[in-house]
Structure 1
Amino acid sequence: MTSTTASAVIEEIAALGPFFAVQAHPPGTEPYGPWRPMSRLLLESRVTGTRDWLAAAGGQPPDAVETRVAASVAHLGLAARLVSPALAAAVLHGMVIAPGLADLRFQTAIGGPAPLSLPDDVFVGGPAAAPTRLANELSGRLLDGPLRELADAMKAFSVSRHILRGNTASAVNGAATMMTAARPDLAVRTRTITALLLARPPLRDASVTTPDGAFRRRSCCLIYRAAPGGKGALCGDCALSR
């Protein structure tokens, strides 16, 4: 795919919202600016920054927020940054964006979507593929690729795999929700691919559909524990919500 076409794809994806916005850099090169590869040091910085941000929001000292709580919230944000542009590329262009975690470049901004740069050779795809094929490839190459690598790296912060799978499922559903809000014309294709993704390994059994058709994860991201006394509000898709 030419760089011009890649730029057009990136522009179209970015129009869906800040979690979809990415930039591209040539493979084997470093993008200009304060970009960093994924590493233990970067994760530690993101978890620490997230803990500080959560603590400040609750008017508490940083050590009042458990490290695993901050790590889970940080993971959810990073998972959403990887899932959102990938789902958009699949829905819009039949592409499967699944670079290795080591190929990605991040900036360490806290309090919003982490800036993300991808190798420009990932923006390659043919005609829009059938939803089943796209879901199969996204499950095998994205969810069981860089998302699994990210979950493996988060184990150092004592976050359970059950919670991390729930975070990823929530990120998939969240991306689909933002896409359908921004592009109602893509709602059927988006929701079809999303449902197929959530029904396949590695996310099978990470969530359920309630009788009224709502998404509900089978775990909790733990963010409620960051509030004073561990009595914060629950997320709308939380397993603890009733």
Structure 2
Amino acid sequence: MSIGPEPSRVSPGSPRKDVVAVPSVRSGAPGSFPASPATVAAAVADVSAAGGYFGLDLGPVPGEPGWRPLTGLLADPATVRARVADMAGRLGTVETRVAASILFQGLAARFWSPSLGAAVAHDLLIDLAPRHVYWRAAAGGPLPLRAAHLEGWEVRDPARITGPLYRTVVTGLLEPLAETVRRVVPTAPGLLWGNAASALVGTLLELGRHRPGLAAKAVALGRELLGTGLLRGTGELAEPVPGHPLFARRSCCLYYRLPGGGMCGDCVLVDPGIRRERWARAARESGR
């Protein structure tokens, strides 16, 4: 299974005062306790078995060349500029703003997937600390990620997992990436955070498809995350069928500007009447 499909067909810069204050994942959620390395490894292996964007390798970085610290991808303008240029070439566009948008959304899905998978399937917080995570370029598909060291916390009260999870993905990974992207290519913050929200909902959809019994739990967590910090106000999460969310974002990822592109299913440019009909059809087709 692949988690590539976010609601908008693919893959920040906001003032720091807008960031919600949340506890660091390194201290776990209230009522949590450190998980053993075996517990963390088993949960990550289970989630990674879903394939695609959920995959996360554990252990020392292999000796072959190409593996680089994630800190560089998040904060080094030269690295991000090269990734944007590579994405533009693969998409067949000369508009770097479009390529930067698609790149950011794909990376957002990449970071959300293992984190949300562990939280939903195992009530486990994993700490994707950039200094311990490595990446390497690939010709296509999800970006390969490997954690040389990965800590985790078992959460006794899953209702309290939202803050630390937000801290891990949004504050720890997406905020520095968004800041660097905007240094390289002028991009509206609302577009990038809409991409982050779209990638989040896409991850929830894949979790629900892969494990239907966890769909309702995944949607509940996603709804809380969409009401937190920089994700607040990025769109409307509807649920015409319980456990099967449909998202309508308030920004556009610019996919329609690609050669042969079109409007994504969650695009703000979709006529509201057409969207309502799509949601009604989804409910009818589910038999509910």
Question: Does TM-score exceed 0.5, indicating one fold?
Answer: yes
Distance (Å, rounded) in 2 between the aligned partners of 1:233 and 1:203: 24
Give the corresponding residue for 2:80: 43
Q: After TM superposition, give the deviation of residue 95 of structure 1 in Å.
A: 2.2
Q: Which structure has more strand as a fraction of its residues?
A: 2
Give the corresponding residue for 1:170: 198
Distance (Å, rounded) in 1 between the aligned partners of 2:139 and 2:250: 27
Give the corresponding residue for 1:61: none
Distance (Å, rounded) in 2 between the aligned partners of 1:14 and 1:86: 11
Q: Does 1:224 align with 2:224?
A: no
TM-score (norm 2): 0.72
Number of residue pairs matched by the alignment: 226
- 1:209 pairs, out of 224, 237, 250, with 237
Question: 1:41 and 1:31, CA in 2 relative to 1: closer, same or farther beyond 3 A?
Answer: farther
- 2:222 pairs, out of 194, 209, 219, with 194
Distance (Å, rounded) in 2 between the aligned partners of 1:73 and 1:20: 18
Distance (Å, rounded) in 2 between the aligned partners of 1:89 and 1:128: 14
Look up the SS of the partner of 1:167 in the other structure: helix
Mapping for residues 1-242 of structure 1, pairs under 5 Å: 1-25=35-59, 30-33=61-64, 34-37=66-69, 38=73, 39-55=76-92, 64-122=93-151, 124-131=152-159, 133-156=160-183, 157-210=185-238, 212=240, 214-227=246-259, 232-242=261-271
Q: Deviations over 1:1-48 (max 9, x none)?
A: 45443332222111223110011235xxx4443211223333222211
Look up the SS of the partner of 1:111 in the other structure: coil
Question: 1:82 and 1:158, CA in 2 relative to 1: closer, same or farther beyond 3 A?
Answer: same
Look up the SS of the partner of 1:208 in the other structure: strand
Look up the SS of the partner of 1:121 in the other structure: coil
Q: After TM superposition, give the deviation of residue 210 of structure 1 in Å.
A: 5.0
Distance (Å, rounded) in 1 between the aligned partners of 2:133 and 2:188: 24
TM-score (norm 1): 0.85
Question: 1:103 and 1:210, CA in 2 relative to 1: closer, same or farther beyond 3 A?
Answer: same
Q: Deviations over 1:176-217 (max 9, x none)?
A: 000000000111111110111011112000111358562111
* Greater mean alpha carbon deviation, residues 133-142 or residues 207-216: 207-216
Q: After TM superposition, give the deviation of residue 49 of structure 1 in Å.
A: 1.2
CA contact (8 A) 1:95 1:125 kept: yes
Tell me how large the CA RMSD over aligned residues is: 2.0
Distance (Å, rounded) in 2 between the aligned partners of 1:109 and 1:235: 25
* Greater mean alpha carbon deviation, residues 109-118 or residues 211-220: 211-220
Question: 1:17 and 1:216, CA in 2 relative to 1: closer, same or farther beyond 3 A?
Answer: farther
* Greater mean alpha carbon deviation, residues 178-187 or residues 157-166: 157-166
Distance (Å, rounded) in 2 between the aligned partners of 1:201 and 1:174: 19
Q: After TM superposition, give the deviation of residue 111 of structure 1 in Å.
A: 2.7
Distance (Å, rounded) in 1 between the aligned partners of 2:38 and 2:77: 34
Q: Deviations over 1:96-130 (max 9, x none)?
A: 234333432111114311111124333x2224532
